[in-house]
Amino acid sequence: MTTYNGAKYLSDQINSVINQSFGDWVLFISDDGSSDGTIEILRDFESLDPRIKVIQNRGPHGAYINYYNLFEFYKDNYGSCADYYFFCDQDDYWHPDKMRTEIDVLSRMERQYGKRCPLLCYTDLELMDATGNSLGSFMSDYSDIDLQSHPLDLFFSHCFVWGTTAAINKALWEAAKLPVNNRNDLSHDNWYAKHAVLLGHVECIPKPLVRYRRHDSNVTGLPRKYGLLKAIRRAMAFGDVIDAQSHMFWSSFEVLNSIDSLDWRGEELKKTFERGGYYAVRFMWKNKICPGSRFHQLARYINLGLCLHKRTHWFLTDCEEPINAK
């Protein structure tokens, strides 16, 4: 868990971890310089429960780098001693059986694919307001990806696996090394999910085992569905759509570039973003890449087909190696 000025809701989340039906866990928490009493709350929990260990981030600040520093602290001091890993937000609430359910699923997947296979499972989540009241909606109502039927859609969609819902095994923890320089602002959970698709297997648990609190200070927003009027407005801002898609494509390319040995899917994905044009159109058509509305699907074909993604600042500043536009 990473924290920053989360005192208002922090106790609810930590108590939901303490009250898990599975109790053999250790909770590592890194605070990023909070000034609202968060660190005092953390120290109180740490003094009451030896399974809770708190550090303070003294280096560069920010949500991503705080996670990176926490992971590096864990690796430096504990190696990879755990069998399974969970990402925990500071302001949500876990169902009492979340950890046990996901461990059971990962254990079954390891029996099927082997313990050396990188694996990830994730659940649905229920939205609640700042006071903890259900909003009557679920993340599955907003997401446009189905990673079991169409896993490659993850590389073409703004939707991703919410880290607070996910669990990974040791093989994925060791294989997907989080980079310190993340030039495309790719979140840690998105990083691990994309590695899981490329290197192993992903399974969705269609149960809302997390309650996701919506409030003014959320770092991440919700995926959006557009009515007719909003779709028209988006169409009028087509350049912004292309820029946002290009950011997503080059973020995916950064993940692909971080893996030494890609299988044929990974190699084709990499060429799709490198080459664009007919190669990209053929790849998307052949693999039935389909996330998003028809408008976003059309924009994706135009973007990659005409190599517009190579003309954005994401390509010019963030691509690891220059790629000659064709």
Do 36 and 5 form a contact (C-beta atoms < 8 A)? yes
Q: How far is CA 292 from CA 7, 120, 225, 300, in A?
A: 36, 23, 9, 10
| Residue appearing with tokens 């976003």 | 296
d(CA 51, CA 26): 5
91-128 per-position pLDDT tens digit: 999 999 999 999 999 999 999 999 999 999 999 999 99
Name the band, by pLDDT with cuts 50, 70 and 90, for residue 184.
low
Residue 130 pLDDT more than 80?
Answer: yes
d(CA 90, CA 101): 21
Per-residue model confidence (pLDDT) at position 61 = 87
Task: Annotate 6-21 with b (16+ C-beta within 10 A) or e (fewer).
Answer: bbbbbebbbebbbebe
Which positions ≥6 away from 247 have C-beta within 8 Å?
A: 184, 312, 314
User: Residue 135 in 3-state DSSP?
Assistant: strand
Nearest CA to 285 out of 297, 275, 294 is that of 297
| Strand partners for 94 | 210
Handedness of CA 163, 166, 170, 176 (dihedral sign): negative
Nearest CA to 209 out of 85, 138, 125 is that of 125
pTM for the model stands at: 0.87
Find the DSSP H helices in the chain: 7-18, 38-48, 63-78, 98-113, 170-175, 188-199, 228-236, 238-257, 264-275, 277-286, 294-305, 313-318
Give the burial class of 131: count Cβ atoms within 10 A of its Cβ; 0-12 exposed, 13-18 middle, 19 or more buried: exposed
289-325 per-position pLDDT tens digit: 988 888 889 999 999 999 999 998 877 554 444 333 3
Handedness of CA 186, 192, 193, 198 (dihedral sign): positive
Handedness of CA 321, 324, 325, 326 (dihedral sign): negative
Per-residue model confidence (pLDDT) at position 221 = 53
| Strand partners for 56 | 31
